[in-house]
Amino acid sequence: MFSAVHRLTAASLLTILIPVLCWVLTVGMGRIPLWIPYISDLALVEPGASVFQIGMLVNALLYLSLLPHLHRLVPYVGGDVLFVLASLSMVVVGFYDWLNHPWPHYIGAVLVFGGFSTWALFATLRGHPSRWRIFLLVASGVLCVSLLILSLSFAEMPVSEADLHWEDRPWSMTIAASIEWLLVLTLGLMGLSFRTDLEDQALM
C-alpha cells in the first residue's frame, strides 16, 4: 500500500532527484556546461526539459495527495491554501520556463520555496520541533534572503537569450545557481523530516 508516509518520502526524494537527473541527462548530451547551471536552465533543452516537466507534475500531484494528512499538522484553511498554492506552483515552474515566460516562472519559484517553507514553519511551531528541522528552516530562510539580495543587487536571475551564453555568466550567477540547488536540497530534506509526524498519525 502506497501510504502517506511512502508518498511523502517519494515526493521529498523526487524534489531532490528530478533536478539531478535532468542535469545528468543534459550534461551527458553536451547541452549545458558541467559547472553549476541554474535548475531553471534544465527546463530549456532536451532531454532534460521533458523529464523536468513530467517530474514536476508528478511531484505536485504527490504533494497534493498528502493534504488530508498534513492538514492535521496545520489545521487551518490558510495553511491548506498555502500548501495547495505551493504544490500547484511546481507545475507552473515546470511548464513555464524563464526564457519564454519569465514572470510566471519566477513567481512560481518564489511560491514553491516560500510557500512550502512557510507551511513547514507553521507546522513546526504547532508541533514538537526537532533540531534538524529547525536547522533546515533557518538554512532555508538564509538561502532565500541571500538569493533575493543577489537578484536585487546584481540582477543575477537569467531573463533573456543573452543569458544563454553559459561561458559569459559572471561569478555572481554561479553563486546564485548554487544557492538555488541548496534550496532544493533543503526543501526535500525538510519534507523528509515530516515522516515522523505522519508515522505518529498512523499509530493514533
pTM, two decimals, is 0.85
Q: What percent of the chain has pLDDT over 90?
A: 40
For 34-49, how does the pLDDT look when each residue is reduced to its tens digit (9 = 90+)? 567 778 887 777 788 8
> What pLDDT, on a 0 to 100 scale, did the predictor assign at position 203?
46
> What pLDDT, on a 0 to 100 scale, did the predictor assign at position 34?
52
Indicate whether 204 pLDDT > 80.
Answer: no
Place of cell 541527462: 25
> What pLDDT, on a 0 to 100 scale, did the predictor assign at position 55?
93
Place of cell 493534504: 67
In sequence order, what are the residues at sequence separation of 6 or more whose Cβ sits closer than 8 angstroms to the Cβ of residue 193? 130, 132, 133, 136
For every residue of 143-179, DSSP letters joined together read HHHHHHHHHHHH--S--SGGGG-GGG--HHHHHHHHH
For 95-153, how does the pLDDT look when each residue is reduced to its tens digit (9 = 90+)? 988 778 888 888 898 899 989 999 999 999 887 778 899 999 999 989 988 887 777 66
Give the separation between CA 173 and CA 179, rounded to whole angstroms: 10
Give the separation between CA 30 and CA 111, rounded to whole angstroms: 31
